[in-house]
A = this chain, B = another copy of it.
Amino acid sequence: MTRAVVLLSGGLDSATVLAVARREGRQILALSFDYGQRHVSELEAAREIARRFAVEEHVVFPLELSRFGGSALTAPDIAVPKDALEGGGIPATYVPARNTVFLSIALAYAEARSADEIWLGVNAIDYSGYPDCRPEFIDAFQQVILRGTRSGIEDGTPWIVAPLADLSKAEIIRCGIELGVDYSITRSCYDPDAAGRACGHCDSCLLRRRGFEDAGIEDPTIYR
């Protein structure tokens, strides 16, 4: 049986990735990060999603990225931009090197546990403009694996799988609905209130809301 580490944020994309990995028969090690994100309610969603998909193991890894600051997602003094999706450029919610750090720890986990693959929900169609969501970043990281790890040198694993890379948000949602994902438990908002209700105006909310509209599926998100 192929074993896969799946990066699970608790958002819409990673929940869909988990469902696809399950459909493909993978034995799943789910990995989430408690990195000082202001939207920490996504971790509760991640735990519930991992439970429903009966993963082999779910690790919530503590990571003090907020110690470095530099992002609206981890520094309380930087505001999350609202209604600014078409602004162009890399937004203030970009967390320095976040996906590089997440992939590297997924790699440590995968190699220590002899997992063959690392799955993650990056997507460069309907996305916020983060450089570490693009295919050229994923390709470069794969080269790091092939040259810098024992498993990469010995048998070319773990292999990075990014099943959503070429899908629109509407296509991702349709795919997940077919696979039984309950999107009402997923959390995408960067700036939820204390009860976990979405703001409806950050980039992530705007992309998610538009995705449901384009897919012709009712949006189950609870907005404040």
CB of A104 within 8 A of CB of B97, answer yes
8 Å CB contact of A70 from B112, B141, B144: B112
A111 contacts the other chain (CB 8 A)? yes
Chain B residues contacting A151 (CB-CB under 8 Å) are 96
Interface residues of A in 52-80 (CB under 8 A from B): 59, 61-65, 67-71
CB of B98 within 8 A of CB of A101, answer no
A51 contacts the other chain (CB 8 A)? no
Rounded to whole angstroms, the CA-CA distance of A137 and B136 in the bound complex is: 17
Interface residues of A in 77-119 (CB under 8 A from B): 90, 94-101, 103-105, 107-113
A171 contacts the other chain (CB 8 A)? no
A134 contacts the other chain (CB 8 A)? yes
- Please give 17 more A-B residue pairs, beta carbons under 8 A apart, in addition to A63-B63, A65-B108, A100-B144: A62-B64, A70-B113, A96-B110, A96-B149, A100-B104, A100-B148, A101-B105, A101-B107, A103-B104, A104-B105, A131-B147, A131-B149, A131-B150, A131-B153, A141-B144, A141-B148, A144-B144
Could you list 14 examples of A-B contacts with CB < 8 Å? A62-B62, A70-B113, A90-B150, A96-B108, A96-B151, A97-B107, A97-B111, A98-B108, A131-B152, A132-B149, A134-B147, A134-B148, A137-B148, A141-B148
Taking beta carbons and an 8 Å cutoff, which residues of A are in contact with B? 59, 61-65, 67-71, 90, 94-101, 103-105, 107-113, 131-132, 134, 136-137, 140-141, 143-153
